[in-house]
Amino acid sequence: MKACRKWFALMLALLLLLAGCSGKGGKETGTSKKEGVVEFEFWAAPNPTQEAFWKKMADAYMKENKNVKIKVSPMPESPSSEAGIQTAIASGSAPAISENISRGFAAQLAASKAIVPLEEFEGYDELISERKMEKTISTWKFADGHQYVLPIYSNAMLFGWRLDILKELGYNEPPKTYSQVLEVGKKLKEKYPKKFLWARPDLVQPTWSARWFDFFMLYNAASGGGNFMEGNNFVADKDAGVKTLQFFKDLQENDLLLTKAAKDPFETGTAIMVDLGPWTFPYWAEKFPKMKYNETYALSLPPVPDDADPANAKTFADTKGLVIYAQASKEQQQAAFDFVKWVFSNPENDLAWFKDTNLPPARDDLSTNDAFVSYLNENPQLKMYAENIPNAIPPIDNEKMVEIQEQIGKAALNPVIKSGKDPEKAWDDMVNAIKGVLK
């Protein structure tokens, strides 16, 4: 019986230990509050560079503000960072603030009241004007009039072109209109029948996130940045959409698309055009040092239909930002906002971010502000990204974004490329499918 009691005691202790480990005490999730000190958790993107940047910022801020304690940690990826955030919210262990949030995911979070509007914080207007981001953030306003995300960086997605191969074909710069692209493709096939214009296996997959880097790049260019959705209403420009799909069809019919998975097709010259974000440059510096800007490759905005002006072309903004979570206390939320305001009120911090991550800060003045000019002169390949931040359209802000973008692939883009579906019919089918999703 004695042994039995000992076992009971041991089990009870184990249970208490388990309970102690799992319980974090309601609102104090991921944070704790000592007398006069506000503590909060900051989730950085799950990569060492961004985590290091935010740790550096938090340390500097805490030195100046002794009553604030910030715990910076990488957000869990299980298997994606979005899933990690949802799980944290569901289990009541969300941080006060996190970065790495796309506008589309923010729309899902906002619809679930999991994040709070930023414009309601004291000092918001000051932050926007000090960071010189009035124009950039104007496209970020959600359909309900609120501003849930503060964009940190904005990659105005561009197309990379193999300038060395273009020169062999008799061109000194990338093509700007659909017919110019097809002409380049025709010459490419004549000279190099085994090469392709664009290698992109996602074109035949319904993967929703892939649409940002194919359909939306070209649609935004064709429509001059016209809205695709306004709140819960589908308002896309049919003419621009059909022309975009027709362009994809023409590329496929001329054997210019490689839809099989290929390793580094642009770098190896298998394809001469690629959808390109600035995150690729450090990879090239390490693995493909022969890739030199304006020698081996050039950059351009997406091509536009023949009747459109390439000077007015827009593109897709691969952009992510900060959100503040509703689970945190009001005090933690304001403290988190004050920290963000402190970081972004100093252009030097944006410059440090730019240098560390290669991701262009979401500022209107990136290509004109003296703080950045010398860095851009040293890295001319980033200049065009900086200049086009105001021309880049962020993802749609509908909570059904995943389903909507899945339908763009399933009903329109995939069948146009795989089976040559008529672009107009593909567009109409896509519209019906999206309206079905929105019901």
Binding site for other proteins (CB under 8 A): 1, 3-4, 7-8, 11, 14-15, 18, 79-80, 82-83, 86, 89-90, 108-109, 111-114, 199, 201, 204-208, 258-265, 268, 270, 399-400, 402-403
Q: Which is nearer to other proteins, 62 or 402 (CB)?
A: 402
Q: How far is the CB of 353 from other proteins (least distance, A)?
A: 29
Q: Which is nearer to other proteins, 365 or 406 (CB)?
A: 406
Instruction: Return all residues near 321 (Cβ < 8 A) that are at least 6 apart.
Output: 99, 101, 103, 106, 140, 149, 150, 151, 152, 153, 362
Q: How far is the CB of 260 from other proteins (least distance, A)?
A: 4
CA atoms 76, 400, 394, 275: torsion sign: positive
Q: 340 and 97 in contact (C-beta within 8 Å)?
A: yes
Q: Which is nearer to other proteins, 109 or 298 (CB)?
A: 109
SS3 71: strand
Of 352, 173, 195, 166, whose CA–CA distance to 270 is shortest?
195
Q: Give dist(CA 196, CA 273) in Å, integer.
A: 8
Of 72, 136, 155, 144, whose CA–CA distance to 115 is shortest?
144
* Phi-psi region at 294: left, alpha or beta (left = phi > 0; alpha = psi -120 to 50): left
Q: Give dist(CA 227, CA 383) in Å, integer.
A: 26
Burial (0-12, 13-18, 19+ Cβ within 10 Å), 226: middle
Q: How far is the CB of 45 from other proteins (least distance, A)?
A: 18
Q: How far is the CB of 297 from other proteins (least distance, A)?
A: 18
Q: Which two tokens stand for residue 83?
A: 């899933």
Q: How far is the CB of 345 from other proteins (least distance, A)?
A: 31
**Helices 48-64 + 330-344 axis angle, to 10:** 100
Q: How far is the CB of 403 from other proteins (least distance, A)?
A: 6
Q: Give dist(CA 242, CA 247) in Å, integer.
A: 9
Beta bridge partners of 243: none
Write phi, then psi, for 313 (nearest 5 degrees): -65, 140
Q: How far is the CB of 263 from other proteins (least distance, A)?
A: 4
Q: Which is nearer to other proteins, 19 or 311 (CB)?
A: 19
Structure-token match 């999730």, residue found: 29
SS3 72: strand
Q: Which is nearer to other proteins, 300 or 398 (CB)?
A: 398
Q: How far is the CB of 35 from other proteins (least distance, A)?
A: 31
User: In terms of DSSP bridges, do strands 233-234 and 229-230 run parallel, antiparallel, or are they unpaired?
Assistant: antiparallel
Q: Which is nearer to other proteins, 21 or 311 (CB)?
A: 21
Q: Which is nearer to other proteins, 37 or 90 (CB)?
A: 90
Q: Which is nearer to other proteins, 42 or 266 (CB)?
A: 266
Q: How far is the CB of 147 from other proteins (least distance, A)?
A: 20
Q: Which is nearer to other proteins, 270 or 329 (CB)?
A: 270
